[in-house]
Every structure is written in C-alpha cells, then in structure tokens.
A and B are shown apart, each in its own frame.
Chain A
Amino acid sequence: MRPLFLTTALLAFWPTTGISGEKKTVTVDADAFAETAAFLRSHCVKCHGAAKKSGGIRLDDLTTDVAKDMERWIAVRDQVRDGLMPPPKEPRPENIQSRKLVAWVSAQTGIKAAALPNQGNLIPHELLFGKPATIGEAPLGRLWRLSAESYLGFIRSMGKVPTDKIIQPFTMVPERGIKDFAGLYTIDEPSTEILIRNAELMVEAMAGHEIKEGIVKGKNGSVREFVVLMDPKLEPSRQQLKTAVRQMFKLAVGRPPADADVPRFLGLYDKCAKIGDRPGAVKTMLQAVLLRSDAMFRSELGQGKVDGGRRMLSGHELAIAVSLALGDRRETGLMNAAQKDALTSKDQVAEHVRRILDDPKNEKTRILKFFREYFEYGKAIDIFKEKPKTFVHAPQVLVSDTDRLILHILDADKDVLREMLTTERSFANYSLNKNKKGEGPKPAVTLNPINNKGQKAPEFVYGFEKWPDTQPATLPKNQRLGILMQPSWLIAHATNFDNDPVRRGRWIRERLLGGTVPDLPIGVVAQVPDDKHRTFRDRLQVTRDAKCWKCHRMMDDLGLPFEQFDHFGLFRNVEQVEDVDATAKNVDKKGKSLGPVMKPAPLDTTGTITDSGDTKLDGDVADPRTMVRRLGDSERVRQVFVRHAFRFFLGRNETLSDAKTLQDVDRAYVASGGSFKALVTALLTSDSFVYRSASSQTSSKGASR
C-alpha cells in the first residue's frame, strides 16, 4: 500500500475493512481522502514526521490501508475529535476540517474499530442525525451466543431441570454499560466443559424415570419420547430413536432437524450402544443435540426473502431474535407464527412486538435490564461502605426502589426519558407485599423498635422522616429529581468513601451527550488528595492541571453539581469537613486521639455544560436540578438515548449505515409522545434489525443448517 503522501489519484478503488472486518472493495471519495492527507500535512507532520517523531509517534508514513494502520489512524481521529491535538500553541484547524477528518477515518474503520461497549459514541453524532438519512447498507449476517440470562432461559424451557445444579457457563464482559454485544462472545474450553456437564444434568432430568417391577415409568416433567428408551432390556427401534432426536431438536433448537442430520445422531447412538448400556447411549445422543452450535448461538444470517441487495431474516431467525430481544427464551407465539410462515413482514413482526409489550404477564425483565445497563445504578451494591451510624444503608433496597420507579414510568409510557431524568417522585424503602391476604406494600427494611438506638430506616436517605404509605411519593421540594439523583445512582457513581464527580460527569458526557472521554492514560495514578479539611470540590482542583484538564474538562463540571448530595446520596446544604484545630485538641488524658471533629463548609453545587454539540444545552448551571431539567428537554440527549437503546436491542454499536434506522426510531418515539414501547417496536422492525446483506450467505450447500 502506498504511503500517504505519494498520490491520491489511484484511490478510486481500494480495499478497506467493512462493518465486520470482511475485506471488500468500496468506492472511496478521493477528494475527502485528499482533504485528510492535507490536514495531516498541515497540522501533524511537523512534529510527528521522520525527523522529530514527537512522543515516539510518526504519522508521515501512514498508509492508505486503514486496516493495517488501524491503531494509528484511530489515535489520530480520537486526538483530533477530542481537541487534544494539535496542541494549543499550534495553529488551530478549522472545526469543519477536524470534523471531516473524524468522519473520514470513522467511515474507513467502520464498526471493527469500535466493537466494544462504550465505544459506540466514536461515531460522531452529527453523522447519524445531521441530515435526513437514506437506506444504508444492510449489516452482515452474524451469530450471537446466548447471554448468561438466555442460557438459563434455554434450560428452563426444557422442562423440570433442577436449575440449582446448573452452573452458569457464560460470563459477560465486566465493562461499564451495555454488555451483550454479539461480536464479543464465543464459547471457550472451560465453558464447553460446563456445557457438557449441564447437558448431562438436563438429559438426566428430561429422561427421569423409575423402574418398578420391570416397567419403566416417567417422572413428573420428563419427556415421554425419551423415557421409553430408558428400559435397559429394550433394543430401541430406529423409529423410536428418530422420534427422540426430532423431539430434542424441537426443544433445543426450536425446529425439526434436517433430514441429513438424523442418521448422524443415530450413528452416535450406535457407536455408544456398542460399548454397552443402551440407555446411556441414548442419553449421549440427546446431549449432543443440546450442545449443538445452533442451540447455543442464535443465527441471524438473513435466510429469508431477498429484497434487492439484502435478505430478510427468516421467520425462524426473526422469531428467536425478537424473543430474545424482549425476553430470555423463545416465545411461543412467535415460534408458532414462524412455523406457520406468518412472520415474513415488518408489520407481522410489529404486531407480535406490541402483543408481547402489552401483555401484563410479561415481566419486563429484559426492558428493565436495558435501563439498568444504561443508568448503571445497580452498581450501588458493589460499592462497599462503612455502616453509617445514623441511618440504615441498604443498597439492595435503594436499587430495587429505582427499579420500581423505572417500571412505574414505563407503565405510564409517556415522555419516558424526560420523566426518568426529571420526575419529582420516588419509591423509598418499598416492598411489594406478596402475601395472599391482599395487604398493600410495606417497608422493605423495618427497624426493631426495641433495639433501635435512633437509627433511621432507608427512606431517610430520600429525605423522608416517615415511610410514605402511598408510593411513588412526591420528594421533598427542591432536593432531588429523576434517576440521577436517586441514592442508588449517586452511590453507584461514588467511591467507598467519597463522591465521584468525575465518573458522574463521564456518565453524562457519554450517555446523555453522546461524547467520548479517553481512558485514563497508562501509568497515571489518579488520586484526589485525602485532605479531609477541604471540600471535595476543592480537593478535585488537582485535575485543573493542564495535562489532566484536557480530558477532565469533559467530565468534572458535569459531575460537580451532584455535590448537592453526600456519598450515601443524602441531600445536604453544607459539606462537613474536618476541623483540624479542634481535632488536634480532641484527645483523652493520655493524649490519644478521640477522633476527628467536623465543621460545616459552604457548599457549591454549580457546574457547566460545555461542548455538548447543542448550543441550547451549553452554559452554566446552578444546581443538579437545573442541569437535569435542561438535559431532559434536549433533542440531542433524546437522540443519544435512542443510540443506546439501539446498542442494547441490536447487540452492537451503530454504524453510519444505521443512520436511517436511528432517525426513524427517534421519530417514532417523538410521534408517540415519548413511548418506550413505540421506540422498541420501531427498533425491532427497523431495517438494521430485520435485514442482512445478501453477500453474507452460507458458503457451502448441503451442510447442516
């Protein structure tokens, strides 16, 4: 590949890396490339050329093969996008030039460069929502391994399998945010070992039986077709074996086996039966079906009807894709529709999505999971804190309160995002009474009136002196609003001992503004001085140092308004800091310290929204309530929310080709008055969800499906 500076004339056709890394030839806009090269020549090569190699980085030898030079190209893009380069002392490039460079590199690197959760924002927002989009290129076909939850759903759908004996084979990435991305997971050897063990347990239960007086009788929940083969004296007929294989396919894969497959499974039986123990051989044959790749991976290759250069997912593929988008197992209505060939259009899919979302029996676990991964308040449970003396710290209860608030807002299904950001109501220490007497809700944690030495129950954290018996209750005035001021969210974005304005600000930058913040550079130890006599805001001044501030300016001022609360999420008007002099005097007769003495310091809850990409958003804010109200009204924030919902329900980051889907979904959400059901329906019937590129079909014929 030619170095960057030789020529751009020959670049009309060149290989690049597409959405999933497959090599293909695409047309490249030579003019756009020439502009990129010119940008690098004007702004980068002076320092990053062969002679100077500033920071050990050279850019003059970058080739046009972006796939080969991926890391350096991405570094260039990120530095320019985040305004970190060129350095302040050098001439600034025009904004439009920078944006073009970012757009050009993003287009070339595609999703491959941004396959991980939290990298979705690397595609600039303006490229997705800046102008009305046209139909984009359909994504390539893919396999998507079952998630931890859907594996458990798979097992539960097999009947009465003792789930307490099942080990979870699948782990999800520990990264922040949305975790179940199709591109991240496969099955390795330790997981396979567990799958085999689980398959043994499952078959054991499904073929559960007892032999009384020489007669085999099935146990409750066992499968008749399997039980009849458990008689050690019986030589099973070929038909009986075929029926068992077919039944297991139906249960495990959701469809009958291909004709060519059945004899292979019978062959496995024969091989095992030769050793002896015919029932054991039957079980081995059945385990093999449970371990099949099409049971463990959902297939979204696009095996339905052709529509131009793309193919629709087949009915079977759609049934499973929609089932697992909304739940943890195959949904009967969808599977039946697929079988009857009644899942072949977007309208038919929409009908089923609405049916499932409107079904009051649907527990919304999966929808709630999206909000848990989006807001990340569930992490409150992982932040270990010393027990406070004056009130009960019960993070599980706080998380459950926020769950319930989200479900409550989803029930109303109006202006959902704005409500979540700005609602004045909350659940507090709330538990549904599940007894049969029909009693109403009750406090999740009650204190023993005899032993209690003045401790307050968890509702105190919300500002309630007494447990509100009607919930959700209106919160004390001018204190807190919405999810970001729920104690659970505040604790989840705090440390063991202090608030964490940096992580709070980062969350807003990424999840609401669609911005990006580079990870902490390797070798930098980020530590706020432990000077307990200073307010946290004051201690955080360390980040204003120029080398820190270039990233921290994207976060700190967005997080500092939440200093309105302490690190347990309690509202406050002053911050308690250590009184150094009084502490020094606070000693016993022997001079041993009796502990720190605290004093109030004035509280500053101001902050600033900058570089949001929406001029109506930018500016100072007096407190967190003003800030979230402004965010809640923002079109950009709404669109960024749509981008995150896309990632969760489609299991990947968006690409430029998804611009039309995103715009359509946003429109559907607005048109419906902010209905999350409408948003999900639009996503699951979008081009990005139902179509695959026709070029990603199977490579050989006659192989098993």
Chain B
Amino acid sequence: MSPETTRRQLLKGVALGAGGTLLQPILSQLEAHASGDARPSPRRVVFVVQSNGMNPEHITPTGIQPPTERGNRRPNNDTLFERPLRDVELPAPITALTPFKNRLTLIRGLSGRIALSDHSANHGALGCYPANRGPMGQTIDLALGDALPGMFRHVGLGIMNRADQTMNYSLSAAGPGRTAPIQCSPELAFRGLFGSVVGGNSRQAFDRRTNLLDFMADDVRRSRDALAGEERQRLDPYLEAFETLRDRQGEIGRLQGRMRQHAPDLSERFRRPTETNRLEAQFEIAAAALIVGLTNVVTLTSGGGGQHYISFPELGIPVDGHHYGHGGGVTNMTYEQCFVAVRQYHCRLIAELARKLQKVREGDGTMLDNTVIVYLSDSGDGHHPSLYEWPMVVLGSLGGRMRTAGRFLQFPRYGARGHRTTANLYLTMLHAAGRPRDRFGVPDPGLRDLDQNGTIQELLA
C-alpha cells in the first residue's frame, strides 16, 4: 500500500467521520423526538436584519426612561442601566413580541462606529468592521454557523427591492474577501433546501445535481490517479468536497419524510411574488429548515446592504424606505408612521417564527428554548445612523446560555468605562455557542482607551 493511499484512506475516514458527526445530531434528534429521549438538543441562531435603521425609541418601553442626552438622544449613562420588562408594556412598534416578553432583552447603548456609513454598514453590520471595504472578515452569522454546524452551516434568506434580484451579497461573509450569499428568491431557496421532496422541475434539478456531483467525484478521481506524490494529495480535498456534497444529497434524501411533513406549501406565494409574499415565504422556509434540521443558523434579511430598501404596497407604503427615511410620508401616513408600520410587520413575522419553534417539542422543552433570534438593522440606529448605539432585540436564551429573560439594558455611553460594542455582543454569542474568541472584527479607533475585547458578562447565564 503506497503512503498516498494510506493518507487518502485516512483523510477519507476523517471526512466520513466529520460527516458522521455532522449528521448524527440530526438523526439522533429525530430519534429522540420519537422516543421522548432527553439528550442535549442543538442550539440555533436566527438573525433578522431589516434595512433603514432601527430608531432606539422603537425598542424603548414608555414606562422606562433611560438617561439620554438632550437633542441627539444618545445614551449618557456612566453605568449599566437595567430595568425588567415585567411591569411595562412593549412599545407599539414591537408590540407583536409581547407573548415572548419573558424571553426578550431589548438592548441599547452598544456602539458600532467602526462600521459607520450612510445607509448601510453592509458586511460591517454583522462583521464589526468598516462598511465600505467589502467583506473584510467573517461575519457573526457565518462564525456561529461554524460553531453550530448543521447539514447546511448557514442559510441566508431574504428579499431585495425587485423579485428578479435573486441574491444579496452585501451582508454576510464567510471570511476575508468571501461573501456569503443571501438567497433572495424564495422559490430558488425552497428548491435548494426542499427540492428533493417536491415534484416537477425542482426534483429534476435536485437529481441533476446528484448526477453532477457523482460525475465530478469520478472525474476528479481520474485526474488525481494520474498524478504522483504530493500533487495527488493536492486534489484530495477537491475530490472529497464532491464526495461530501454527494453524500449530503443522500442524507437530504433520507430526511424526506420529515421534510415532506414540514415543507410549507408556498405555491400561492410563488405565484404572486409581492414583497410581503416573498418575505413571508422566506420566514416560512427558515422555520421549516430549522425544524427539519437542515441548518442551525439562519440570516433573514429584508432589504439591506448598499441602497436596498423595500417598498411595502400591501402595508399602504408604495414607496421605498429611502423616501420615508428622508422624512417623506405617504397618503394618510407620516414618515414615522411608515417606519412604525414596517417595524410592526417585521415583528409579527418574528413572533410567528418564534411561535412555530415553540410548537416543536425538544428534550424537556421546545425548540424555541434552544434558539436565539437577534433582530437588528444593517443601518444601526437610523436611516443615516450615528452608530453611537446599535439597537438590538434579542429573543431567546440559546438553550439557557444567555440571560435574556425580560430585560431592558442600556450600556454605558460611548467612551465611558464599561461601554460595550456590537462586537462584544457577538463575542458573547460565540461564547454561548461554545466557540469563544477574544476579539471580533476591527476595533473602533474612537474607543482606543477602552478594552474592546471579550464578552458581555451581563448577558451570559
């Protein structure tokens, strides 16, 4: 046996082993569901990213008055300001989240000025680095995908201004120089995830892909076998990639029963791809992908990145977000009413997603118990943000690892001792997901005197 064969077999073993460990949780999870077994369940993360900024007032309950500067309303507290949500009502824009108040933390005062830009921080929103430099590093959703691997490490779903814009590459990144796609055609997304269990062309496309992967594994193997020594090993990862992808097709095939059970019927939404139909379809696909166990990390986007704003004629707002971002109203609605209506709509979708996850039993609790949903804007605190604070709505505790039960938090003002940034929130999530790091993104030179590394202890259980 040649040394190359040994190495190849070793690698093959490792790859299968990795595939095995990757798929095993899903399979055992299904078995556990069936038998009522209480083994640890996978943790899941959902980011909901909405364009056009998030007014901090939208997430500040009327009964809570955090200290802010006059005029610009920026936080000006020197120490952490915390209040329980128990005895207050959620503000009108996010009132749809009321049923989940005891799982909710509303966060103000985290800054993100390193990503400052005019209409969107682009990859910087989830990556904590300058907005207009392209994907400078991995974004938090992909980082969590590595920490909580599923059959698909990350699923990005969203909508753009027009139905024919099928991809958004402006928000997620797998690494420096590597954007990660947000699939903005629900139909294509559905085909990619559930294609094996639906008939017609989708099934054909799925089978063609299986054939292609099969063929390529054979083709690369032939090229590899024609080489000697180290160069033969250079093709091993390429060969294994095709083999792994082909094997995954098989695994997807094996989940068919469960997929059939949970795959949403979206034919009506596909037939009429309006903005709300498209966005609702993506939320439904996200829920189904999580429930079936295709992935543990989803990014849902509504516009976002560059100048991508959505108009929502079905909500009575036929103009895009840039119009009311600059103070323009529509018939019967001021610009602020437009903002609120769009926020309320997104919160209804988030609440519906949470409800779906809550219905699925998992271990001693529900799937929602093991999930955290983070709702933010890629443009921070406004249409033209200052990013002295970046409002965040955090729903769920990631299997009890995050302390998010009914809290309003405002972190100390920008520059004060104890001030924290969005990078600190993301580091906290990585810690809770079991993949701690010391630093994330690029430090803000405006905070040179502060330690910008590490987690936010107040959010860890």
Contacts and interface: CB of A to CB of B under 8 A. Distances in A.
Interface in A690-705: 696-700, 703-705
A281 B208 contact: yes
Interface in B416-461: 442, 445-446, 448
Nearest to A289: B219
Nearest to B152: A193
Contact of A288 (B175, B205, B212, B240): B212
B249 to A, nearest CB: 12
Interface string A240-277: 00000000000000000000000010001001100111
A165 B167 CA distance: 8
A292 interface: yes
A148 interface: yes
A140 B229 CA distance: 9
Interface in A453-505: 496-497
A174 B130 CA distance: 18
A291 B216 contact: yes
Given A171-B177, A294-B223, A703-B226, A272 B211 contact: yes
Contacts of A272: 207-208, 211-212
A189 B241 contact: yes
Contact of A143 (B3, B169, B225, B235): B235
Contact of B446 (A167, A174, A275, A386): A386
A193 B228 contact: no
A272 B212 CA distance: 9
B179 A167 contact: yes
Range, interface on chain B: 35 or more
Interface in B193-211: 201, 204-205, 207-209, 211
B237 A187 contact: yes
Given A148-B177, A386-B446, A275 B234 contact: no
Contact of B225 (A174, A190, A281, A703): A703
B204 A275 contact: yes
B349 interface: no
A324 to B, nearest CB: 17
B208 A386 contact: no
B97 interface: no
Given A171-B176, A497-B445, A288 B215 contact: yes
Interface string A135-156: 0000011110100100000000
A497 B211 CA distance: 56
A172 B244 CA distance: 23
Contact of B216 (A288, A696, A705): A288
Interface string B81-94: 00000000000000
A191 B228 contact: no
A287 interface: yes
A200 to B, nearest CB: 9
A457 B268 CA distance: 58
B227 interface: yes
A187 B133 CA distance: 25
B314 interface: no
A188 B237 contact: yes
Contacts of A390: none
Contacts of A292: 219-220, 223
B229 A277 contact: no
Contacts of B225: 699-700, 703
B445 A384 contact: yes
Nearest to B223: A293
B291 interface: no
Contacts of B244: 189
Interface residues of A, number: 60
A20 B230 contact: yes
A276 B230 contact: no
Contacts of B245: 189, 192-193, 196
Interface string A1-27: 000000000000000000011110000
A207 interface: no
Contact of B442 (A20, A264, A384, A704): A384
Contacts of A192: 238, 241-242, 245
B352 to A, nearest CB: 30
Nearest to A173: B176
A264 to B, nearest CB: 7
Given A284-B208, A384-B130, A700-B225, A496 B445 contact: yes
A83 interface: no
A497 B449 CA distance: 11
Given A140-B230, A189-B240, A293-B235, A703 B223 contact: yes
A167 to B, nearest CB: 6
Interface in A169-201: 169, 171-172, 174, 186-193, 196-197
B169 A167 contact: yes
Contacts of B222: 703-704
A296 interface: yes
Nearest to B154: A190
Contacts of B205: 280
A301 interface: yes
B169 A20 contact: no
Q: Which 3 pairs show the lowest CB-CB distances between chains A and B?
A: A703-B226, A192-B241, A189-B241
Interface of B: 3, 114, 130, 133, 153, 167, 169, 174-179, 181, 201, 204-205, 207-209, 211-212, 215-216, 218-220, 222-232, 234-238, 240-242, 244-245, 442, 445-446, 448
Given A192-B242, A292-B219, A384-B130, 15 more contacts: A20-B229, A20-B230, A172-B177, A186-B238, A189-B240, A191-B241, A268-B212, A287-B212, A288-B215, A288-B216, A293-B224, A294-B223, A297-B234, A386-B446, A700-B226
29 contacts: A141-B228, A142-B231, A143-B227, A143-B235, A145-B234, A167-B179, A171-B176, A186-B235, A188-B241, A189-B241, A190-B153, A192-B238, A192-B242, A196-B245, A264-B215, A268-B211, A271-B211, A272-B207, A277-B201, A287-B212, A288-B219, A292-B220, A696-B229, A698-B226, A699-B227, A699-B228, A703-B223, A703-B225, A704-B223
